[in-house]
Every structure is written in C-alpha cells, then in structure tokens.
C-alpha cells in the first residue's frame, strides 16, 4: 500500500505511512460437546428448531463467503473441540467447496466435561510460525457452547503468536451451570494468548440472528481493529427510545465481563 497524503489543519502536510495488512489464515475451532445439540429459538426451512451446531455451521459459511468476497486470499482450516482439540481439516484453503465439505463433516459427540485448550494453542502456534514465514497472520475463532464446564489451559504468558476471537453460546444461569464463570475463563484465555485485539461475544438468548450478527463483527481484520469496548456496530436500523424494551419481552440473563 502506498502512503496517503492529505492537508492537515496545521502548516505542514499530513502523511499516513505505508502499512502492510497481512492475509489471514483462520482456524475455526468448533465445540462439539453434547451441549452443541441444544435447540435454539430459531427454526429452519422445515419449521423445526435448529440446534446450536446448525447455527454455528451457518455462521461459519456466512463468515467464509463474506471474508472471501473482501479478499480471496484469506484461507481457512477447521478444528473440533471435545475434551481437547483435534484437526478436522488441517490444510488451509480458500476453496469454498472445501469449506462446505469440512463444515458438513462437523458432528457432535457425547458430553465431554471440561475442555482443555492447551492443544488448540499448541497447534495454532505451530501454524502461526508457518503463516509468518509466508508474510501472513493466523487467527483462531473459537465457538464454545458449554455452560457448566470452564475451559482450562496451560500456556506460557509471554508466547503470543496468533489472535483469538471467541463466540460463546450458553444457557441461563442455574443450579447445574455457571455461564459467568465460563465466560470469565474464556476472557482470561483470550487475553493470555492473543497477539492482536481479540473479540469475545456471548449470547444466552438462543437466537441464530444474534450469532450471525456477532460473526459479522469478526470479519474485521485483527490488524485494523479498535479495542472491543469501542465497538459500536452493528447499529439498529430502528430508532428506539431509552425506555424501549430492547429484548422484545424475552427473558434473558446476559453474562458480563469482569474486566
């Protein structure tokens, strides 16, 4: 990219220095615990409720198609998360048919309990070094859906070779689950490993459109991001009064950041 010059308000000229924005290698890590089969409030074309896993697959395809329309040189690989992470498709590719095949191959397992993210970080760091050698950067997008088991990891605090984003789908708080503690653990993991600004979004409303909206925000390139606290998109198309019920009467209990 060339430098861009423009008139400044002072006597001199304002010059923006050249900056290279790297192509991305993106690893989708999909939680395949039994909780991924929880039905959402949204329905499919047949009128039946879709599961979290169905919505996650749709969101991934939305992201990949949109990302490639922005830049066809981005590439994608896929990992599943049970007790630990394992490759579903290790080869990075920008071929949409290859992505469709990989996404169709994602299936849920039985209840896995606590997830260990250590192996996910190991394989991501290994791939990040290869990406850097090609003047690319690596990002992990973790889609997590366990409400009762906090993830754990063992990873050195000074080793940050990739960026991580998290989408967290969860149940409401109850005697058998602790989504706030899970969310806090995910925030800690993200901050522990992320090289650039990583984003984390959560939803306990069971609405696919919220997941899709959050996934669209993740289209932002890690090297061009503001901090998450400054993100004010997407904006509502309908102007609402401060007293308006933004949840349309739904009984929701969001989890919040402890930062």
Q: Annotate 147-205 with DSSP letters as a single string.
A: SS---B----TT---BEEEEEEE-PPPBTTB-HHHHHHHHHHHHHHHBSS---EEEE-S
Question: What pLDDT does residue 245 have?
Answer: 45
Check whether 82 has a pLDDT greater than 90. Answer: yes
> What is the rounded distance in angstroms from the CA atom of residue 31 to the CA atom of residue 148?
14
- Summarised one tens digit per residue, pLDDT across range 179-226 is 999 999 999 999 999 999 999 999 998 899 999 999 999 999 999 998
In DSSP terms, 30 is beta-bridged to: 80, 143
Check whether 259 has a pLDDT greater than 60. Answer: no
Q: What angle do CA 23, 24, 28 make, to 5 degrees?
A: 165
Axis crossing angle, helix 52-70 with helix 208-217, rounded to the nearest 10: 30
Tell me if residue 10 falls in helix, strand or coil.
Answer: coil
Q: How many CB atoms lie within 10 A of CB 80?
A: 21
pLDDT band per the 50, 70, 90 thresholds, residue 251: very low
- Which sign does the torsion angle of CA 25, 31, 37, 42 carry? negative
- Overall average pLDDT of the 127-134 stretch: 97
Q: Is the peptide bond before 234 cis (omega within 30 degrees of 0)?
A: yes
Task: Report whether 115 contacts 149 (CB < 8 A).
Answer: yes
CATH superfamily for 22-222 is: von Willebrand factor, type A domain (3.40.50.410)
Question: What pLDDT does residue 91 have?
Answer: 96
In sequence order, which residues have a C-beta less than 8 Å from that of residue 105 and are 6 or more positions away? Answer: 88, 89
Question: What pLDDT does residue 5 have?
Answer: 39
> What is the rounded distance in angstroms from the CA atom of residue 62 to the CA atom of residue 87?
21
Comparing 113 with 232, the larger pLDDT belongs to 113
Question: What pLDDT does residue 97 have?
Answer: 95
Domain extents for the chain? 22-222
pTM of the predicted protein model: 0.84
In sequence order, which residues have a C-beta less than 8 Å from that of residue 9 and are 6 or more positions away? Answer: none
Check whether 253 has a pLDDT greater than 60. Answer: no
Q: What is the mean pLDDT of the chain?
A: 87
The two tokens of residue 35 are 């909780």
């Amino acid at each position: 990219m060339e430098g861009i010059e423009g008139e400044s308000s002072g006597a001199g000229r304002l010059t923006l220095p050249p900056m290279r924005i790297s192509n991305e290698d993106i690893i989708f890590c999909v939680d395949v615990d039994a909780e991924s089969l929880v039905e959402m409030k949204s329905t499919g074309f047949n009128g039946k409720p879709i599961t979290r896993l169905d919505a996650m697959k749709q969101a991934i395809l939305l992201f990949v198609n949109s990302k490639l329309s922005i830049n066809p040189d981005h590439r994608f690989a896929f990992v599943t998360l049970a007790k630990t992470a394992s490759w579903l498709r290790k080869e990075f590719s920008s071929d949409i048919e290859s992505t469709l095949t990989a996404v169709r191959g994602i299936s849920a397992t039985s209840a896995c309990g606590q997830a260990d993210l250590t192996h996910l970080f190991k394989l991501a760091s290994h791939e990040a070094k290869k990406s850097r050698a090609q003047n690319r950067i690596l990002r992990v997008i973790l889609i997590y859906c366990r409400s009762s088991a906090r993830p754990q990891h063992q990873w050195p605090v000074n080793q940050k070779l990739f960026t991580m984003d998290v989408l967290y789908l969860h149940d409401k708080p109850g005697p058998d689950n602790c989504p706030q503690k899970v969310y806090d653990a995910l925030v800690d993991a993200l901050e522990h490993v992320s090289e650039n600004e990583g984003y984390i979004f959560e939803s306990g409303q069971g609405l696919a459109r919220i997941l899709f909206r959050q996934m669209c925000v993740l289209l932002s390139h890690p090297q061009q991001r503001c901090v998450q606290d400054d993100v004010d998109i997407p904006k509502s198309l309908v102007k609402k009064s401060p007293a308006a019920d933004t949840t349309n009467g739904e009984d929701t209990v969001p989890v919040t950041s402890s930062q």
